[in-house]
Amino acid sequence: MMPTGFDVNRAILYDEPMPHPYKVNHYLPLSEALQTQRLQPQEHVLVTTLNQHVIVMPTLDMIYYHVAQGHWNGVDWMVSFCVLCNSPYAVCDFTPP
């Protein structure tokens, strides 16, 4: 028999989303990220473009957070990642038409 309602007493509710959203607010050139070891040369990454610039995010971070969002150079963007099919999806401009 399928439940017909939502039982609040059985739910685990948090005051804030878990895990916390991956809000990207700091950008580094790839050469600097590699030089400072913020990114390892053998690390798996997701790559997308934003206004003719390339954005690279560590796949391991995306496996944990599933969604990353940010604002860069006047453009809001987001990337989602599906751990079941191992594929990303990028939306890189929320500007209304």
Q: pLDDT averaged over consecutive 10-residue blocks of the chain (97 residues)?
A: 71 72 85 92 88 85 88 85 83 61
What letters, b where the CB count within 10 A reaches 16 and e where it falls short, cover 42-70?
A: eeebbebebeeeebebbeeebeebeebbb
Q: Which domain holds residue 67?
A: 27-91
Residue type, 60: L
pLDDT above 70: percentage of residues in the chain: 88
Q: How many angstroms separate the CA atoms of 79 and 61, rounded?
A: 12
Count of domains forming the chain: 1
Residue 17 lies in a domain: no
Q: Are strands 67-72 and 75-82 parallel, antiparallel or unpaired?
A: antiparallel
Residue 33 lies in a domain: yes
The whole-model pTM stands at 0.67
pLDDT tens by residue, 43-68:
999 888 887 888 888 999 888 888 88
* Torsional class of 44: left (φ above 0), alpha (ψ -120 to 50), beta (otherwise): beta
* pLDDT at position 32: 93
